Amino acid sequence: MPMDLYRSGDHYVLHADLPGVDPDSVDVSIDGAILTVTAQRSERTEHDVQWLSSERFTGGYMRRLSLGQDIDADHIAATYQNGVLTVTLPVAARAKPRHIEITPATPEEAKVVEPTDSSDQHTTT
């Protein structure tokens, strides 16, 4: 199953081409950090015909992706339209860029700690 995967802002988007697949057979699941996509394309129903060419795949599709720690697995969403499965994987709040506020230090917090071990000091010759 051909697919594209990209990041857009605070979420990842996966597009997988599944033309001719029965929408009821498409399944997206997550187990731990593994996202699994499965689908089934039914066999052709034409009987008593003389095939001149038969190149379209029938059978099952499966794709597994290992997700990193920065995915919010509880809010993954999926849609299937016109033979394309779209899975939206939001970035977890802990993985989003954020601004760290700098506060003035109190005199006790502002003390500089000098190294006591001479091996920590570097000299140049």
Domains parsed from the chain with CATH numbers:
3-43+57-95 (2.60.40.790)
* CA 25 to mean position of chain CA atoms: 21
pLDDT tens-place string over residues 1-35: 899 999 998 899 999 999 888 889 999 999 988 99
Q: Which two tokens stand for residue 86?
A: 């779209």
Tens of pLDDT, residues 81-98: 999 999 999 988 766 667
HEC assignment per residue over 18-46: CCCCCHHHCEEEEECCEEEEEEEECCCCC
Q: Residue 76 — very low, low, confident or very high, per pLDDT cuts 50/70/90?
A: very high
* CA atoms of 2 and 79, how far apart (whole Å): 16
End-to-end Cα, the chain, rounded Å:
62
pLDDT in tens, 11-20: 999 999 998 8
Tokens encoding 54: 């038969």
* pTM of this structure: 0.69
With cut-offs at 50, 70 and 90, classify the pLDDT of residue 42.
confident
Tokens of 120: 């920590």
